[in-house]
Chain A
Amino acid sequence: MGLLSKKDAALIKDPLADNNPITIQVLGICSALAITAQLEAAIVMSFSVLFVLGIGNVVISLMRNIIPSKIRIIVQLIVVAALVIIVDQVLKAFAYELSKTLSVFVGLIITNCIIMGRFEAFALGNGPWRSFLDGIGNAAGYGVILIIVAFFRELLGAGTLLGFPVLGDPIEKTGLYAFGYENNGFMLLAPMALIVVGIIIWIQRTKNKALVEDH
């Protein structure tokens, strides 16, 4: 990356792997459970968080020297909520179809602990450009896990990807289903998201022993 200094590039790269917000920091688990039953929903959510966290981090970073520390959490919450509502309204006016897909997630974005976590841990103590990179990096790290989990849940649970039947038709018994394969409906329920995230954490820590905490 010629554009970014090594330190700045790390802000983007670290959250994608060794400091991933979901698998290492264990943040944002609630939305990872809620919306990974379908790949499309996971992708929409990833981009929404990318946008809100990128902009939000910059706004908080610009305000960092004037925010009274006693009410900083409330201020952060208001910034997220205002951003999300404005985005929602603008989409409703200019991209109505997209806003309908997004409507479920508006509440989930506001309560996503990654956003508050990054405001609190990074944007309050760093300049706007670095905060922006940190926001993009963390949102991307979150999105990657979301999309991986959703890929397996939709494929194994419903036999589809982005709504397209990739394994054949379960009622007509074509494709894989002709050989007695059945969808595992359990994959669509919330507990399986935790188990898939758990497996990702397991693989990641087996490959990089430095990530294993010793107690």
Chain B
Amino acid sequence: MSNKTESNVYTILFAVAMVVVVGGLLAFTASALRPKIDNNQRLEKQQNILYAMGVNDNDETSAVFVSTDKAPELFNQYITKQLVIEGDKVTEDENAYLIDVKKEQASAKAGKERRLPLFVGNKDGQTYYIAPIRGKGLWDAIWGYVAMDKDMVVQGVYFDHKGETAGLGANIKQRYFMDDFIGEHLLSENGDFAGITVAKGNNDPKNENKTDNKVDAIAGATITGDGVTAMLKSELKKYVPYFKTLK
């Protein structure tokens, strides 16, 4: 073909034009939508934290958040204090929930002191301590919020994931898995930190034993389950010194 679209010059010009147009279009969309997306993510965090402390619209079997338009108001109502723990120093910060756990983990790796956010909630006279956690699943990141009482007994959890297998690992955000954690102890009987192991064959499918530091695993999601175990252990362990000061 002696067509003009076959010449090298045309091909290169076309490629350059295409890159500029598509690049510009994507950059424009991204920056135009940024504030809205940030706001959605902020509301989601509030919903997640409230979910963990039991403020949600759950029906019988599925996990339902409080609606996005009610989230900020309920968040102010139920979350009484937001703390940032840095070593022995504990400060209050009303935007602690916006701390990016992923960035904190990275800066801890680089040798800096990690800022640990902890949210103190109050519902029906009971105090909840809610910690954000983050770890690795099979394919990508997993994260969650764990609500505890002052003895590190779990009062509620919320887990989420970026790309675990649908129908298997993705089920960590299902009620039947998350509800198993409620009432489970993070400390062993002699008071040391033990975490909670997502265990196969622990012969307790209804999870009646709350002090064994174990919940029942999801069949076919071993690596995601191990990721949850590792995440709970390594992240919540960092909060143990703070919980000791509560006694």
Number of residue pairs across A and B with beta carbons under 8 Å?
79
CB–CB B36/A94 < 8 A: yes
Quick check: B11 and A68 within 8 Å, CB to CB? yes
> Which B29-47 residues sit within 8 Å CB-CB of chain A?
29-30, 33, 36-37, 40, 44
The yes or no answer to A52 lying at the interface (CB within 8 A) is no
- If A78-B22, A154-B167, A158-B167 touch, whether A171 touches B205 (CB-CB below 8 Å) is yes
Proximity string of chain A (71-114) to chain B, C-beta cutoff 8 Å, 1 when within and 0 when not: 10011001000100110011011101000000110000000000
In this complex, the interface size class of chain A, counting residues with CB under 8 Å from chain B, is 35 or more
Counting CB contacts under 8 A, is A116 at the interface?
no
* Min CB gap A175→B, angstroms: 15
> Within 8 Å CB of A85, what residues of B?
26, 29
Q: Is the CB of A35 within 8 A of B166?
A: yes
Contact of B163 among A65, A74, A78, A104 (CB under 8 A): A104
* B41 CB to nearest A CB, Å: 8
User: Could you say which of B14, B37, B220 contacts A93, with CB atoms under 8 Å apart?
Assistant: B37
Given the complex of chains A and B, what is the CA–CA distance between A106 and B36 in angstroms? Answer: 20
Establish whether residues B18 and A75, one from each chain, have CB atoms under 8 Å apart when the complex forms.
yes
In the assembled complex, the Cα of A74 lies from the Cα of B22 at a distance in Å of 13
A163-B212 Cα distance, complex, nearest whole Å:
30
Q: What 0/1 pattern do residues 55 to 75 of B give for CB contact below 8 A with A?
A: 000000110000010000000
Complex alpha-carbon distance, A188 and B165, angstroms: 10
Tell me, in angstroms, the Cα distance from A189 to B1 when the chains sit together: 49
Q: Which residue of A lies closest to B216 (CB)?
A: A171
| B residues in contact with A163, CB < 8 Å | 62
Please determine whether A89 and B33 come into contact, CB atoms closer than 8 angstroms: yes
Nearest opposing residue in chain B for A187, CB measure: B167
Annotate B8-24 by CB proximity to A: 1 below 8 A, 0 otherwise. 00110011001100100
Instruction: Report how far A184 CA is from B81 CA in the complex, Å.
Output: 47
Interface string of A33-57 (1 = CB under 8 A from B): 0110110010000000000000000
What separation, in Å, do the CA atoms of A189 and B162 have in the docked complex?
19
Which A residues are CB-close (under 8 A) to B220? 185, 188-189
Asked if B192 lies at the interface with its beta carbon under 8 angstroms from chain A, I say no
Check B14–A96 contact: CB distance below 8 A: no
Is B112 in the interface zone, CB < 8 Å from A? no
Q: Which 3 A-B pairs have the closest CB atoms?
A: A37-B167, A93-B36, A68-B11
Residues of B in contact with A (beta carbons under 8 Å apart): 1, 5-6, 10-11, 14-15, 18-19, 22, 25-26, 29-30, 33, 36-37, 40, 44, 61-62, 68, 162-163, 165-168, 170, 205-206, 219-220
